[in-house]
Chain A
Amino acid sequence: MTLISRRALGLFSAASIMALSAGAALAQDKVTIAVSIPAATHGWTGGVVYHAEQAEKEIEAAFPNIDVIVKTSPSATAQVSALEDLSASQKLDALVILPFTSEELTGPVEQVKANGTFIAVVARGLTDPSIQDLYVAGDNIAVGANTAKWMAEKLGNEGKIVVLRGIPTVIDDERIQGFTDVMKGTNIEILDIQYANWNQDEAFKLMQDYLAKYPQIDAVWANDDDMLLGVLEAVKQSGRTDIKYALGGNGMKDVVKMVMDENPMTPVSTPYPPSMVKSAIYMVAGQFNGQAPMRGSFKLDAPLITPQNADQFWYPDSPF
């Protein structure tokens, strides 16, 4: 048994050395762009992986001298190791990174930069912004605020609503802050805000409980489309007719499709698109091919997705 596993180990390491040297050989006559992103553990990161892989295919086809390497990591520590592995085995001309956490990844990214690598940070900023050459992110406050403005207008600044929030993180805090700040300026009463961890099942249960607790709910906001699907199922089961609107956020394809089909309960959504990683990779590629330099911070807006523009936000082949 030990013999077999040792042999397997030997084979495996031989293979990985060959792969490494092949990578090194390629790197000599090619520009290498490394992309480090979280592994697909839920819908949104699944979308990130999909768009990164699409960008890899498209850019490598369009610019044969550019090699894009997409590496996914299941945790912050794994991402730090992935950065070490990537930069140890080859010279990186650019790194596009969606950091798991700001604090833990700042140091390792700084070390990669010390070798002269162009750094593009996506979605979550590093603790020290001077490390990044390019920063592309969505606007979580606008996700909350734009949804709140639309909802307040439709409800005529009156009514009772409930809110489902995600996992305790900065992303979640900002969305809730953007939403509640707008609602403070209206007569709309937020009856309850509870965590459902961006999970469909938990959102379903929480919505059932909200429905049992409050006899009158005019609208619901789940700050993510995954949760919205759970909410809609609970509302459907209850047979209640007082709920006029149930909105989400993020631009999940099922929900964008509902918007396209002019669903009366969910007529709009707000994007925090995983495709922002693709925008960043394209910007970096422009740097190395067409000599179209891109530096600075780019904040993607969160415009309302409506039946009129929904087709721009709809990716039928994406998992998200």
Chain B
Amino acid sequence: MTSATSTRATPEPGRRIRWADMGPFLALALVIVIGTLINSNFVSGTNIANVVTRSAFIAIIAVGATFVISSGCLDLSVGSMMAFVTGIMILTMNRLEPSMGANAILVGAAVGLVVGAACGLLNGLIVTLGKIEPFIVTLGTMGIFRALITWLSDGGSIPIARELRDPYRPVYFGNLFGVPLPVVITLIVVLAGAFILYRTKYGRRCMAAGSNSDVARFSGVSVAWVRTLAYVIQGLCVAIAAICYIPRLGAATPTTGALWELQVITAVVIGGTLLRGGKARIWGTVAGALILEVIANLMVMSNFVSEYLVAAVQGVIIILAMLAHRFIR
């Protein structure tokens, strides 16, 4: 480990570092090649479109998680928060539908963004003002959000009003010049995230807070503010994911978004962002989200993995990907 770090620290930013940055994309390419060899249906247009479209949720949330993680924190509550925001949005839309018609979707989406940002702000403030470990704080809010959606739905489901299904459906199933809409939305979120992270003062402060919070503080960076804002960005990303998610099945249930937090964190880390903070790779995060979804797809498309062992094979592939990542460095 020490040798790896020292190699990286040598002042010769040549090929090595580029290769390391390429890691997640090479892994993605490899998984796709394997997929093509296993089953020719894998590369069919429909299958590729399905897989890319459904990875949108994890990718969008993971963009927010890249901010939180690179600033030196963690958010375990995103899956539950997603379910909670989804529930609130559907309830709002259903309440407004009789008076506003399809416009209720727009108001509902706006309410979702506000609620998402507020949930993120709550996490951020408890972490920074309360000075409590992010792991524990977000473990607590994870339970809170999950319980709230269960309570709102009485343990059943909250379906969206029939009248709103058709006008809202294109947000998941529609496309823009042949590109599925959720993919377009993901691209916009990723571009915005990349701009903020790589091109603004805030992005650099995020890295500073994550790599060494004491040094950052001494150089005049308000670490608390940077981290709180990262959680708000995370909350907004969760809300955007929720906006794309609702038209897919048209309901929120207590199992909506279950365990997504783990997929999100895995996607971020596979993508090359350091779990301890200080280094962020937004595009890598997207590759990570795609890798997870492609692997899950391959498990079904291939015939040689027993249904009982699917999770084990997925685990092995993820660990192998991370090991390869380290050795390429």
Contact = CB atoms under 8 A, between A and B. Distances in A.
Interface of A: 39-43, 45-47, 49-50, 165, 168, 192-195, 198-201, 204-206, 208-213, 226, 229-230, 233, 237-238, 254, 318-320
B329 interface: no
A212 to B, nearest CB: 4
5 contacts: A40-B150, A46-B156, A46-B254, A254-B159, A319-B153
Contacts of A204: 248-249
Contacts of A40: 150, 154-156, 254
B155 A319 contact: yes
A43 B155 CA distance: 6
B47 to A, nearest CB: 4
B173 A319 contact: no
Contacts of B125: none
A39 B254 CA distance: 11
B300 interface: yes
Contacts of B50: 208-209, 212
Nearest to B50: A208
A200 B159 contact: no
A209 B301 contact: yes
A41 B173 CA distance: 29
Given A40-B150, A45-B155, A319-B156, A206 B300 contact: yes
Given A212-B41, A238-B46, 14 more contacts: A40-B156, A42-B254, A206-B300, A209-B47, A212-B42, A212-B46, A212-B301, A213-B39, A213-B301, A226-B255, A229-B251, A233-B249, A233-B250, A318-B156
Chain B CB within 10 A, most for which of A39, A195, A209, A230: A209
Contacts of B301: 209, 212-213
A195 B301 CA distance: 14
B155 A205 contact: no
A289 B142 CA distance: 45
A225 to B, nearest CB: 11
Given A195-B310, A212-B47, A46 B155 contact: yes
A194 B153 CA distance: 28
Interface string B150-163: 10011111010000
B296 interface: yes
Given A40-B254, A43-B253, A200-B255, A209 B153 contact: no
Nearest to A239: B46
Contacts of B42: 212
Contact of B249 (A47, A50, A200, A209): A200
Given A40-B150, A42-B253, A208-B54, A194 B155 contact: no
